[in-house]
Amino acid sequence: MPVARSLTIARVFLRYRLNELVPAEYQPLWLRALWAPYKLLPAGKAKNLTRGERLRCALEDLGPIYVKFGQLLSTRPDLLPPDMVLELNQLQDNVPPFPIDQCIERIEASLGAPVDELFAEFDREPLASASVAQVHGARLKGENGEPGQSVVVKVLRPGIDQVIQQDLQLLRYIARWIERYLPDGPRMRPVEVVEDYRHTIEGELDLVREAANGSELKRNFANSPLLYVPEVYWDYTRENVLVLERIDGIPVTDLEQLRAQNTNMELLAERGVEIFFKQVFEHNFFHADMHPGNIFVSREHPDRPKYIAIDTAIVGSLTREDQYYMARNILAMFRRDYRMVAELHVQSGWVRRDTPINAFESAIRAVCEPIFEKPLGEISFARVLISLFQTAQRFEMEVQPQLVLLQKTLLNIEGLGRQLYPQLDLWKTAHPFLERWMRERIHPKTIVGEIKRYGPEWLEKFPQLPQMAFAALEQGRELGPQLQQLSDQLAGSRQRGRIRYARMIVGGLLAAGAALVASPGLLAQVPAASWIMGAAALALLLWP
């Protein structure tokens, strides 16, 4: 661990009296020794600050990597008290830009040509500068004398990889210390939090991954009236450099501009909620960094406002099982069916199988019932979900990283919606969407779609089924006398076995046939061997 950086962190830690947040009996001797001289000095900056303000100021003094870590902590109200979470929400990721000559050098090294050859115009002054990268305006070269596309060029900071690895090493050390010495350390799982942060920050260090995420999101919302995602220019995109279409939108928090163009604020807020649920449940691919700095509103059609999303470095998705259990949990929760909520947590594997259902149900009711006494329009949907997970953690619910990202995104969306339209009733939009999604999940069209998707693979494997079956029987004979006896019984009823086996194959072929009828273009993908196998199966079925 770098000694100089460790001493810097210790100095900032003591300057803001962060050691006072840790009970003295849990402080190691070296920390108490460092703290002793500071007791004699004036409190300075920390004198009139709350504990949340002290933590925020300390992270800002430590630099951009710690600012980003504080932003991550602000999404974990299950780990920090509300006053500290509220203060960490104010962390800003604005840092001085790095020199333009370093920026140009990085662009030219990545793209293999001088900037003047790559772009018709390139702005030397950055549009924005953050901890990991900075952004410059530019224009591509046009054809036949026509002006080219206006773009933005995002460039990673030089040497940021090494800085991040050093700081991650220090954060791991601090996390282990918290886990070891603080009374609530093990419950807070600081080592896991740092590991989550590592995945997040490393995702932001690969601009090709960010571009791919943006392309997927754009494809999901193609021709949608809800959301627009800028075009990626792949010829100009590398791991360190990303070139995107430049958008012209109003920052979503600029309420004055939005009202000046007579934006339909109620519809804008409702569309934000709809975008969230579409991403999570229909596409299963959601933008997980939808804070106000990454969201704009199109200047076109203010009566039918459309969002614009940028910075797709952090995305999330759920397993099919998590999608299903999350939707059912939300529906059950708002119906006040706390028994179902408790059972779903166990069925999903989020809490242990031996969790006492009655006690868990009672705990959920105690948290949710006071909230639901309010009108639905006054209930914070995101806070209810977080309260639910906090309660589950008392019953040893493991931290679910994918659900943490979901919580963070929902908090951003709901907070943004309430800012745009304070009367927003999120449940009014969420309820019909979830009801419809649950119905469509078991609709025949959905089932046929699954058959169409996997049918060729099933048919391809049909010719191998007899050999696989005989191999399984051979393995069974080696397992012991009981399986040997079963094998003898099967050999004595071979004729009946043939018929049952044939019926199984024909049933599978009929299911796959539904997919073939629904999609004639699929016929060309089915190998001839599969048709031969189907004819043989039919013959077996008719064979007396």
Is 425 part of the annotated catalytic residue set? Answer: no
Strand duo 150-156 + 133-140: pairing: antiparallel
Element housing 433 (H / E) = helix 426-441
- How many Cα atoms are found within 13 Å in the side-chain-facing hemisphere of 259? 7
Quick one: angle between helices 401-420 and 265-277, nearest 10?
A: 170
In the block, residue with structure tokens 């030089």:
158
Q: Strand 295-298's sheet: what is its strand order?
A: 227-228, 307-309, 295-298, 249-251
Sequence-ordered alpha helix ranges (H) in 89-230: 100-111, 115-118, 160-181, 185-188, 190-203, 207-220
DSSP string, 419-481: HH-TT--HHHHHHHHHHHHHHHHTSHHHHHHHHHHHHHHHHHHGGGHHHHHHHHHHHHHTS-H
* Residue 447: Cβ-neighbour burial (10 angstroms; 0-12, 13-18, 19+): middle
In the block, residue with structure tokens 């190691």:
28
- Catalytic pick from 78, 167, 196, 289? 289
Largest CA distance in the chain: 100
Tell me how crowded residue 374 is: count the other CB atoms within 10 A of its CB. Answer: 10
Amino acid at 462: F
Number of residues assigned to the chain:
544
Q: Are 228 and 211 in contact (CB under 8 A)?
A: no
DSSP string, 233-302: -GGG--SSEEEEEPP-EEETT-HHHHHHTT--HHHHHHHHHHHHHIIIIIIS-EES---GGGEEEESS-T
Tell me how crowded residue 219 is: count the other CB atoms within 10 A of its CB. Answer: 11
Residue 20: alpha-carbon gap to chain centroid: 35
Three-state DSSP class for residue 123: strand
195 vs 72: CA distance, rounded Å: 12
Strand duo 307-309 + 227-228: pairing: parallel
DSSP state of 134: E
Residue 262: alpha-carbon gap to chain centroid: 33
* Beta-ladder partners of 244: 152, 232
Q: Are 52 and 154 in contact (CB under 8 A)?
A: no
Residue 301's contacts (CB-CB under 8 Å, 6 or more residues apart) are none
Show which residues are catalytic: 289
